[in-house]
Amino acid sequence: MDNNRFNTDAQLLNELQYRIIKDKKVPRILSICSNCKKIQNTKNKWYKIEDYFKEYMAISFNHSTCPECKEELYPNIIFESSTKPTIKYTENRGIFNLLGIAYESLKNNDMDDQAKEMLDRVMKANSNYEVLNIISEYVEDE
């Protein structure tokens, strides 16, 4: 792959992601069970949606509930709005860049204890997926 033909890091990353997906033979159309939502791979093996995306696309999930479902599932509960700072993260800059942005956002919002706690937890994390999930507990992505 000729790195000089890419104008930006984002284009290079997109090309690398495309090649990873191509090498893993991820189809353009996914077969998904209409009942349980499992996804079938090209070898006819069925995966939970979270496991499929983690295995084939290096994507991890952070489960949450959207506002509409919260209202439907918990009609008698009033939810307070998030107290997490919102960050604007430019994709493809790396996990350490995201960590720095999250840390600074917490510090700028006088949340020094949370910033330190987040860093302490990240230092003990076993994977990038775990780091991303930890960061998402402290800040919201715009």
DSSP string, the chain: --GGG-SSHHHHHHHHHHHHHHHTT--SS-EE-TTT--EE-TTS-EE-HHHHHHHHH---------HHHHHHH-TT-PPPPP-SPEE---TTS-HHHHHHHHHHHHHHTT-HHHHHHHHHHHHT-SSHHHHHHHHHHH-EE-
Q: What is the pLDDT of residue 82?
A: 63
Residues 133 and 93 placed together within one structural domain of the fold? yes
pLDDT at 3: 46
Confirm whether 35 is domain-assigned.
Answer: yes
- Domains of the chain: total: 2
Note the pLDDT tens digit of each residue in 2-47. 445 556 666 666 666 666 555 555 566 778 888 888 888 888 899 8
Task: Please check whether residue 52 lies inside any domain of the structure.
Answer: yes
Residue 116's pLDDT band, with cuts at 50, 70 and 90, is: very high
Residue 1 has pLDDT above 60, yes or no: no
Q: Does some domain include residue 63?
A: no
State the residue range of the domain holding 100.
82-141
Of 64 and 22, which is predicted with more confidence?
A: 64
Do 35 and 86 lie in one domain? The reply is no
One domain, residues 88 and 137: yes
Claim to verify: residue 94 and residue 43 sit in the same structural domain? no
Indicate if 12 and 48 belong to the same structural domain.
yes
Using the predicted structure, report yes or no on whether residue 119 has a pLDDT greater than 80.
yes
**Residue 49, in any domain of the structure:** yes
